[in-house]
Amino acid sequence: MDNDVSNVKRTPQEFEVMNGGGAEAAEKARKGFSRRQFLRRAVGITSGVVLAESVGLGLYFIYPLATGSFGGIIKIGKKTDFPAASPLEFDIENGKGVFYQGSAQAYIVHLSADTPWVLQGDSLKQQLEAEWIVQDTDGTYWAAFWQRCVHLGCKYNFKTDCRSFKCPCHGSHYNADGEYLSGPAPRSLDRFNLSFQGEDVLVNTGKLNTPLAPYNLPGVPRPTDITRLLVEQQIQFACQ
Ligand code: FES
């Protein structure tokens, strides 16, 4: 004898009396489902969907890191692919000191060890750190600037004749080290985290020093007389 009432076959009419009636109850009866079985299966299906979505979302965030595509850590080349130069020698067409990397959506700058910084000693060290400018073991300096202007997001360019970055939309102007010079931009250029792995240069395009969500960092404010790293050279102002 079958003691499990859920397995007892009943007519739709009997099931309606037991379960409050309605077409849904009749249909469940027809398929031999009890309400409990129905709920158990519904919970199982929902859990499966939630689990699949969780795994999918996890993979979505992990995938760029695994593949080296934008949004993750990108190996952009060897150190020797980016010859250093002092800011007044920067030349993007001839690959001196400043380089565009489409895969990282970034400009890479490699400043020579004799770069004429305004600050010195500990003040220089602290300000470089605050502006995500990395000093290499050979004394040269590196940074990776996101290609989006911090005013309204246009793609800006490096202008070799100005030795500086200029935005074509509303004229924001940034020094060779990414510091704000003039125009409506509220701050200096945003930067990605740049690091080294042996002789390889890595740009973490998932780590940006910007106030945009989900980052809560302040970005690099417009320089003041006590934070400015590079002098505002004459050649840059000829490009206003
Ligand atoms: S978007 Fe660059 S100056 Fe406005």
Q: What is the pTM of this model?
A: 0.71
Q: Residue 178: CB partners within 8 Å, gap ≥ 6? A: 109, 131, 143, 145, 165, 188, 189, 191, 220
Looking at residues 11-21, what average pLDDT do you find? 42
**Mean pLDDT for the chain overall:** 79
pLDDT, position 211: 59
Which of 12-16, 65-69, 207-211 has the highest average model confidence (pLDDT)? Answer: 207-211
Residue nearest to atom 4 of ligand 1 (CA): 170
pLDDT, position 40: 53
3-class DSSP state of 235: helix
pLDDT, position 209: 85
The set of protein residues with a Cβ atom below 6 angstroms from ligand 1 is 149, 151-154, 167, 169-172, 183-185
Please check the confidence at residue 8 and state whether its pLDDT lies above 90: no
Q: Give the model's confidence band at 43: pLDDT under 50 very low, under 70 low, under 90 confident, else very high.
A: very low
Substitution candidate for ligand 1 out of 145, 147, 154, 173 with most atoms within 8 A of CB: 154
Please check the confidence at residue 224 and state whether its pLDDT lies above 80: yes
Q: Do the Cβ atoms of 147 and 190 come closer than 8 Å?
A: no
Which tokens belong to 95?
A: 């690959």
Atom of ligand 1 nearest to the CA of 149: 2
Token look-up 């002098």 returns 231
pLDDT, position 5: 37
Looking at residues 35-50, what average pLDDT do you find? 45
Is the Cα torsion angle 149, 151, 154, 159 positive or negative in sign?
A: negative
Summarize pLDDT for 107-125 with one digit per residue, the tens: 999 999 999 999 999 999 9
